[in-house]
Amino acid sequence: MGKALVIVDVQNDFCEGGSLGVDGGSRTATDISVFAGNNPYDLVVATRDSHIDPGEHFSDEPDYVDSWPPHCRVGTTGQHLHDNLDVALDAIVDKGFYAACYSGFEGEDSWGRTLDELLKLRGITDLDVVGIATDYCVKQTALDAVRLGYSTTVLLDLTAAVNPNNLDQVRADLDAQGVTVR
């Protein structure tokens, strides 16, 4: 068995000062870095939201559920990983060039390998999922992971939510599908 750390969307636009900044985003980046320094994994992968023209995912009047202010545009610093994320990454997976993509499993690395392919190549069976946002991309990545057969844990203290009021529901949804929440 192998165990991977999947770091979801710890990007400038999702941290304080970004176009879709989430409270606690930059602190989460720091905390993940400390955690990763103290806890060895067989593989460490970061995902990035990477938009070119994601259609109705962007809106001038966003509802913050299905539509959002423009964020993480390819070629802008908003799309870059946050400076506080100081982790040796084995791979980066980009998602969402032309459509909304909440799950890291919908992305590919620069060789065109999906996250699932990358994990299988390295014999990974277990995943810890951390990052931003708890109630969107972290949740969807973890749900896809269990669907694909990975033993999956979300480390809640190493996540930041768009809407902290969603957290009870997120816990319930993850728990119902067999994701461990710690």
Contacts of 90 (CB under 8 A, 6+ apart): 43, 44, 45
Among 132, 143, 154, 181, binds ligand VGL (CB under 6 A): 132
Catalytic residue among 15, 72, 101, 137: 137
**Least CB distance to ligand VGL at residue 52 (A):** 14
Neighbours of 110 (CB within 10 A): 9
Determine if 31 is a binding residue for ligand VGL (CB under 6 A): no
Q: Is 137 a catalytic residue?
A: yes
Nearest to 33 by CA among 77, 103, 105, 81: 81
Report CA 120 to chain centroid distance, whole Å: 19
Exactly one of 36, 44, 133, 155 binds ligand VGL (CB under 6 A); which one? 133
Preceding amide of 133 cis, omega within 30 = yes
Find the part of the chain contacting ligand VGL (CB under 6 A) among 36-44, 112-120, 133-141, 150-158.
133-141
Asked whether position 94 contacts ligand VGL by CB under 6 A, the answer is: no
Question: What's the CA gap between 158 and 140, in Å, rounded?
Answer: 16
Which member of 136, 144, 160, 179 binds ligand VGL (CB under 6 A)? 136
Q: Spot the catalytic one: 31, 49, 95, 135.
A: 95
Site string for ligand VGL, 49-88 (x = CB under 6 A): x------------------x--------------------
Three-state secondary structure call for residue 18: coil
For ligand VGL, the binding residue among 6, 7, 9, 95 (CB under 6 A) is: 9
95 is catalytic: yes
In 42-164, where do the E strands start and end? 43-49, 91-95, 124-132, 151-160
Q: Is 72 a catalytic residue?
A: no
